[in-house]
Amino acid sequence: MGVTAKEVNELRKMTGAGMMDCKNALVEADGDFDKAVEILRKKGQKVSAKRADKEANEGSVFAATSGDGNEGFIFSLNCETDFVAKNDDFQNLGKEIMDAVLANKPADLEALLSLKLGNGNSVEETLTESMGKIGEKIQVTQYSKIDGEKIIPYIHMGAKLGVLVSLTGANGSDVTGAGRDVAMQIAAMNPVAVDKDAVDETTINKEIEIGKEQAREEGKPEEMLEKIAMGKLNKFFKENTLLNQSFVKDPSMNVQKYLDSVHSGLTVNQFRRVAVGS
């Protein structure tokens, strides 16, 4: 059957799909708009399957907090090319997903993908439709939710990396600037944990073995290997755990001393660092 330009334009406005895609879908659906929308969605699903083996290593990180600043949310919206990542439609999709996250506070990625957006479809369904329109693999990855006394979000230049940091001990003081400083430290230095007590046993054992092997290669006596390895482990803690790292803005102090200088007792109890493509 024939379809009018008005009908094609109406479907395009409803779905955001291309003019020819809308025309072909309406023809296939005999003018039934609901069927045409389903056809366009199926096209997206085919694109999704077709591009399943593609690498989605571009995109943007989105981070935000609840109105009271006690909850933080962060995720990466990935695509295949930087060109698409910078597109307004892609950025607006990320913002719409974050709005739904803030309203519903999903516990995990699976729950996030099930959230309903303004178009009445779930996030997962909307991503599929977007793949049909854009022709690239698009996916939400690395979603995290944290809560605490004061959560500070930070998006690094270019939106390829984002951080959430949870501060405690503020006691009502405005510690936003300090939180941002620490978030920038996390972005730059990529610590493995807040402090040495939070480093997992597997990492500790691996570092001890590396330390022993290095000492052995240097010809150190076997009975000294354990002591040398523990010394190397302490150096690892200093360089790779947030509160013990030298503060980037002032290397004369570590991050914990910097926080104490801002407000006595101020510290970090958790953080999340999300980078596109990681």
- pLDDT 10s per residue in the chain (278 long)? 578 988 988 888 777 778 888 899 999 999 998 898 888 888 877 777 777 778 889 999 999 999 999 999 999 999 999 999 999 999 999 999 999 999 999 999 999 999 999 989 999 999 998 888 888 899 999 999 999 999 999 999 899 999 999 999 999 899 999 999 999 999 999 999 999 999 999 999 999 999 999 999 899 999 999 999 999 999 999 999 999 999 999 999 999 999 999 999 999 999 999 999 87
Please tell me the distance from the alpha carbon of residue 122 to that of residue 200, in angstroms, as a whole number. Answer: 36
Give the DSSP per-residue string, 200-232.
-HHHHHHHHHHHHHHHHHTT--GGGHHHHHHHH
Domains and CATH numbers, the chain: 5-50 (1.10.8.10), 58-147 (3.30.479.20), 196-262 (1.10.286.20)
3-class state of residue 70 by DSSP: coil
Radius of gyration, alpha carbons of the chain: 25
pTM for this structure?
0.84
Please tell me the distance from the alpha carbon of residue 245 to that of residue 130, in angstroms, as a whole number. Answer: 42
